[in-house]
Amino acid sequence: MSQTRQNELAAIARRAMREHGLEPDFPPEALAQLRAIGGAGAAAGGELRDLRALLWCSIDNDESRDLDQLSVAEALTGGATRVLVAIADVDATVAAGSPLDAHASANTTSVYTAAQVFPMLPERLSTDLTSLAAGQERSSLVVEMTVTSAGAVSASDVYRARVVNRAKLAYNAVAAWLDGKEPVPDAISAVAGMDEQLRIQDRAAQALKQVRKAQGALGLATLEAQAVYEGGALMDLRPDEDNRAKELIEYFMIAANGVVAQFLEGRRSPSLRRVLRVPERWGRIVALAATVGGTLPATPDARALSAFLVGCQQKAPERFPDLSLAVVKLLGSGEYVLKRPGEPAEGHFGLAVDDYTHATAPNRRFPDLISQRLVKAALAAHGAPYDDATLRRLAEHCTAQEGNAAKVERQVRKSAAAMLLAPRIGEQFDAMVTGVNPGGTWVRIAHPLAEGKLVKGFQGLDVGDCLHVQLTHADIERGFIDFVRAR
């Protein structure tokens, strides 16, 4: 793709941000505050434990520098494991009510488009001063968990500590090594004891995974389109697939977020909970299961759905991403809600947990920064830094902006896909129906990974149905990709 096309895609991304109520640029006041920051924020208020000597590591995408969390583990007697997750103390640098905080609270999330990233915080912070960067001493919030050999969290604590990231690791390389497909990565072998440290972490994560599955957590494997560039030019949109290293971080973060929710509840603090309500379109999920020989109960049941999904993945792994996407669409979106202490928790249907918040990514998500401030106030025995009305308003706003960010990412991804598909008008593709609503019927193809509208032959189709389609139109500017049903 030419530089002209690349600039066109960047312009589309910036316009999409504004159209959906997100600001692509930092305001002058925030930039002035940024210039005045000399270094990483001082961790004021309360003592910090000194955990700098531990073998902390980060595991993230190859290109990620906005490192929100580190992990380390220690094998205990009886097969248990002590797991520590350190979370970047973003609040130490970005004070509540400051211009940088105002921008973060307006956008509420970093937006990752195929053209560029629009970070919630300036890169000088998110990829440096407030990042748990390799070799740098940082203040953090630490979530400590004792994970039994059976995968239960038997004890937990939350406190503040100083940490140092000993190894910046990447998902794909770590996963290939854990699976025995590749030799130990240089970044691991360069740190004495890091290989055994990661195997301890992996065992604990796999134990946590088994408990989550037994309790009904949904093992979904959707395909997220990842832009592939060569020499600065967009060449493809490929699926960003799960692997064992991503699972390690995923299950540590689920457990840590649950601990933070319980900690705030125990300290009689309000919290922002992340919930996914019981799906309204359960009947369609039941019907979808029936099309592949599955049987689900008439009333929503997470354990039954989880068992059905496990069976489908084992029987037809090549079709499982399509089935996962259909189920995700039918489950609906998660949202943030205010949880007052003592009130019943709404829970997260997809994760099969009652106590769940977002606290582990404060460089990228504003709800996590809110949780951090609530935790720090509780640790200091101070009142909550937000009143109920403010938290309720922020919950609604964060939910809305998350949806808007997803729309921007999807719109730019569609424009990128239209650029790749424009020379291929008339070609036919295998497709799956991903959405049916009053606005139309939507299908997804695999190569490149792209979604478009079915403008002809959509009668009688529903989410999860498979068909052959022909590409008839690709509008780069609007991101429109049109298909007709191929006979």
pLDDT for position 286: 92
**Of residues 448 and 1, more confidently modeled:** 448
Residues 40-66 have pLDDT tens digits of 666 655 689 999 999 999 999 888 889
Quickly list DSSP for 219-267: -----EEEEEEETTEEEEEEEE---HHHHHHHHHHHHHHHHHHHHHHHT
**Of residues 236 and 14, more confidently modeled:** 14
pLDDT for position 46: 61
Q: What is the mean pLDDT of residues 380-387?
A: 95
User: What pairing do the DSSP bridges indicate for beta strands 450-456 and 69-75?
Assistant: unpaired
For the 425-485 domain, the top CATH level (class) is mainly beta
| 43 φψ region: left (φ > 0), alpha (ψ -120 to 50), beta (else) | beta
Q: What is the mean pLDDT of residues 190-196?
A: 97
> Does residue 235 surpass a pLDDT of 90?
no
Q: What is the mean pLDDT of residues 9-15?
A: 95
- Alpha-carbon span 483 to 469, nearest angstrom: 6
> Does residue 270 surpass a pLDDT of 70?
yes
Least confident interval from 72-76, 195-199, 272-276, 300-304: 300-304
pLDDT for position 154: 95
**Of residues 68 and 219, more confidently modeled:** 68
Could you give the angle at which helices 99-107 and 388-421 cross, rounded to 10 degrees? 60
**In the beta sheet, which residues pair with residue 69?**
87
- Alpha-carbon span 177 to 171, nearest angstrom: 10
pLDDT for position 329: 82
- Alpha-carbon span 82 to 348, nearest angstrom: 25
pLDDT for position 441: 95
Outline which parts of the chain fall under CATH 2.40.50.140.
Answer: 425-485
Q: What is the mean pLDDT of residues 323-348?
A: 86
pLDDT band, very low/low/confident/very high, at 2 (cuts 50, 70, 90): low
**Of residues 149 and 238, more confidently modeled:** 149
pLDDT for position 7: 86
Q: What is the mean pLDDT of residues 460-476?
A: 92
Q: What is the mean pLDDT of residues 243-258?
A: 95
pLDDT for position 38: 85
Specify whether the CB–CB gap between 202 and 71 falls below 8 A: no
User: Which of 272-286, 329-343, 383-397 shows the highest mean pLDDT?
Assistant: 383-397
Residues 91-109 have pLDDT tens digits of 999 999 999 999 999 999 9
Between the alpha carbon of residue 228 and those of residues 210, 432, 448, the distances in Å are: 33, 23, 11
Cα–Cα nearest to 285, from 463, 125, 119 = 463
pLDDT band, very low/low/confident/very high, at 360 (cuts 50, 70, 90): very high
**Of residues 438 and 17, more confidently modeled:** 17
